[in-house]
Amino acid sequence: MNLILLALLLQSSLVLPPRTALENPASVSPVPQKQRKDYEKLWSRFVASKDDAKLLKDLEKESKKQKALDQLWVIQGYLHLYRGDNTAAREKFTEAVRINSNNRIGLYYLAELAYAHKDYGRAATLYAQLQSVDPSHPDVETKRQRAFLLATDKLLQTAVRAESENRLAEAEGLYRQALKLAPNEPSLQARLVDLLLKQNRKEEAEELRKLAGVVDAHPVPATAADEPRNDDLADLGRWGGDIEAFHLIRGTDAVTREQFATLIVRYFPQVTEFRRTPKIVTDIQNSPARSEIMTVVSVGLMDPFPNHDFEPALPISRGDLAIALARLSRSLGLSGKESSIAPPDVAASNAIYPEIQMVLSYSIMTLENSGSFNVAGHVAGREAVQSAEQLLDIFQQAQR
């Protein structure tokens, strides 16, 4: 798994919208009636973008008088962002969150600033805190995953460098920090066992080996084709606290439509930014993947049935999987190419023949052992995961 490529894929920068598009801090914390009139004047001056230096002084003066108004600190944070002073902005947003720990605006910009300054561990923590305060925005989970991956990778790369330069105590500390982020990651556990053995701390190494279940300090991949592999850092970062949902998908004999929708959004979070066309879907209110289903439907990767039902629990067919993956491939900018493989059970006149040709040409899907494509067949979890990973690898290579 190439974390650097994944990081490049998901990277973003702090982009400020027009002031008129910013959320009024009063919508997060209602301003008391006595202070409301004065507050609205200050907010209107900020939106009008006139004499920011004078406004900043007035806000600082008002904040000393009204110390409990976190909204005033948020406006100051906004001002410093537009002035390009991230350090001062961070101080103001921090104060707003100190006054009101549920201030989602302050939490959001603190997380964004931490990420922009490559403090990925803090960014991941702040995104998680923001998510607990305001779970209505799925993009926050994507950002938390991104920060988690980069934080873990940064620690790992620094630890490997320290170990190679024989700074073993420093390397050990870094490996242990990484394990706090990904406590069940076998490759990290094995590296720490190796390091302890290198320092002749055999008893500690053996204790860690037993606790972590590390059979060998250099574990080898399983050879059985159908044996589920261990989670790697990408899995942990991608799924976080929902890792058991991933295990369920990977281990099932027939992936459902809602499971595959979840898989798409987890592996390709950028789909949430694709152009959307509203669609009516009538039967997903109780689905745990409701948000993911609405995403894949609105961006045109999967279709509801003619009666507007999505049938979340219905197993996805191999034909529908091919359609979704081919559409996703094109949306990611991959060009279609014809495969030299001609499945005997799908005629060239079939409407989904081009989609099947595309997934076969990139080896995103393969023919069954019988030599047929089996359009109506079910899709096993490991096959769906392999398809997603193969497409992700192809896309990453195309970005080089």
Adjacent-strand bridge partners of 256:
315
Q: Can you give the CATH number for the domain in which 98 is found?
A: 1.25.40.10
Residues 277 and 360 in one domain: yes
8 A C-beta contact, residue 176 and residue 160: no
Residues 135 and 150 in one domain: no
Residues 288 and 378 in one domain: yes
Q: Is residue 232 part of a domain?
A: no
State how far the alpha carbon of 206 is from the alpha carbons of 88, 159, 169, 229, in Å. 48, 21, 18, 23
Residues 159 and 63 in one domain: no
Residues 86 and 175 in one domain: no
Q: Is residue 337 part of a domain?
A: yes
User: pLDDT tens, position by position, for the chain (400 residues)?
Assistant: 333 333 333 444 467 889 999 999 999 888 999 999 999 999 999 999 989 999 999 999 999 888 889 999 999 999 999 998 999 999 999 999 999 999 999 999 999 999 888 888 899 899 999 999 988 777 788 788 878 878 887 888 888 888 888 899 998 998 888 888 777 777 778 888 888 998 999 988 888 887 766 544 444 333 333 444 456 667 766 776 678 889 999 999 999 999 999 999 999 988 988 998 988 999 999 999 999 999 999 999 999 999 999 999 999 999 999 999 999 999 999 986 666 788 999 999 999 999 999 999 999 999 998 889 999 999 999 999 999 999 999 998 887 6
Q: Is residue 234 part of a domain?
A: no
Q: Is residue 219 part of a domain?
A: no
Q: What is the pLDDT of residue 220?
A: 37
Residues 130 and 152 in one domain: no
Q: Is residue 22 part of a domain?
A: yes
Rounded Cα–Cα distance for residues 261 and 240 (Å): 17
Q: Is residue 38 part of a domain?
A: yes
Tell me the pLDDT tens digit for each residue of 123-174.
989 999 999 998 877 778 878 887 887 888 788 888 888 888 889 999 899 8
Task: Spell out the residues 6+ positions from residue 84 whose beta carbon is closer than 8 angstroms to its own.
Answer: none
Count: domains in the chain: 3
**Which of the listed residues 193, 212, 231 is the one where a domain comes to its end?**
212
Q: What is the pLDDT of residue 225?
A: 39
Q: What is the separation of C-alpha 254 from the centre of its chain, rounded to a whole number of angstroms?
A: 25
Q: Is residue 157 part of a domain?
A: yes
Q: Is residue 117 part of a domain?
A: yes
Residues 176 and 279 in one domain: no
Residues 169 and 116 in one domain: no
Residues 208 and 277 in one domain: no
Q: Is 380 left (phi over 0), alpha (psi -120 to 50) or beta?
A: beta
**Which of the listed residues 101, 120, 145 is the one where a domain comes to its end?**
145
Range of the domain at 276: 252-399
Q: What is the pLDDT of residue 292?
A: 93
Residues 141 and 151 in one domain: no
What does pTM read for this prediction? 0.54
